[in-house]
Amino acid sequence: MIDDGTGLLTIGELARVTGLTVRTIRYWSDEGALPPVTRSAGGYRLYDAASVARLELIRTLRELGLGLADVRRVLAGETTVAQVAATHVVALDAQIRSLKVTRAVLSTVAKRGSDAEEMTLLNRLARLSAAERRRIVEEFVDEVFHGLDTADPVIRERMRSTAADLPEEPTPEQADAWLELAEMLGDPDFRAAMRKVAEFNAADRGHDAPAGASLWFSRRLVQLGAEARERGIAPESPEAADVLRELLGDADPATVLTRLRSHATHQVARYRELLAVVKGTGPGAAYREEFTWVVAALEAHTAG
């Protein structure tokens, strides 16, 4: 406090009172957020008790991430703290979404040891809009099912819709899974593997088969396979043959085995795992173990 009985403070004294640096206070003053009350005879800026309170408000708003333009508007009474806070929340939400995407890209690059070219591709895939993600999925599904009129339409539409359903605010795990899934959907080898699955589906299903029958069979397979594993039934055991009869009915076991082998490849299993993560149901929803058990049981009971 200057020794003239006015109770005014210099920038240095204001800094000591608030714990802020002289440089910061001077900058905010230069930007019009903290105008001096007056100046001393020597031209030094002077501040009063109200300036201390104003400075504390500026510091709080700045720590919350508001720019000086918004700070000046609040201090000038052009807007309220609540209004600017609501606007800032929207901006922060967008920033958080962007940071999550950035984290997913960097995480994937670090895990893979990617070079600059792959990092650029991953970054582009991560920042696709919902419409662009949907286009990638639709092109993939159209190629896989092209010309297969008897393929189950429920399976086709399910594949078309679920892979693009990345949440507006994905978790890091969901963003990572989408990156891997997007690359997989563009992989010619994976497309060929999924085309084989679709061809088996179309061959198994006649024109009169009810829509969704393939999905029902998959659910039944998962249910019975899980129950068999929980009961400790070995795939080669006589009990496993009973499970297979309950699952297959009159279907030819060898034909079903050929079909399921196409479903049980590492790529197809990984595809199901990634879909489960993107949808938020977790990697356990891929049912890798259940498919593996049924395939092993069929192999054991169709030998020779």
Give the domain CATH number at 31: 1.10.1660.10
d(CA 137, CA 132): 9
Nearest Cα residue to 186 out of 146, 148, 147, 139: 139
In this predicted structure, what is the pLDDT of residue 284? 59
Which structural domain range is residue 35 located in? 11-79
Same domain, 235 and 161: yes
Same domain, 66 and 205: no
pLDDT digits (tens, 9 = 90+) for 109-139: 788 787 887 777 777 777 777 777 788 888 8
Q: Which of 22, 45, 79 is the last residue of a domain?
A: 79
Same domain, 274 and 148: yes
Quote the number of domains for the chain. 2
Same domain, 144 and 280: yes
The yes-or-no verdict on residue 1 having pLDDT over 60 is no
- Hey, is 39 helix, strand or coil? strand
Q: Does any domain span residue 118?
A: no
pLDDT digits (tens, 9 = 90+) for 26-51: 999 999 899 999 998 888 899 998 99
Q: Does any domain span residue 123?
A: no
Same domain, 65 and 133: no
CA distances for 267 relative to 110, 197, 270, 274, angstroms: 22, 12, 5, 10
pLDDT digits (tens, 9 = 90+) for 254-295: 888 877 777 667 788 888 888 888 887 766 566 778 888 988
- Say if residues 9 and 51 touch (Cβ distance below 8 Å): yes
Same domain, 263 and 161: yes
Same domain, 45 and 162: no
Q: Does any domain span residue 187?
A: yes
Same domain, 149 and 263: yes
Same domain, 189 and 269: yes
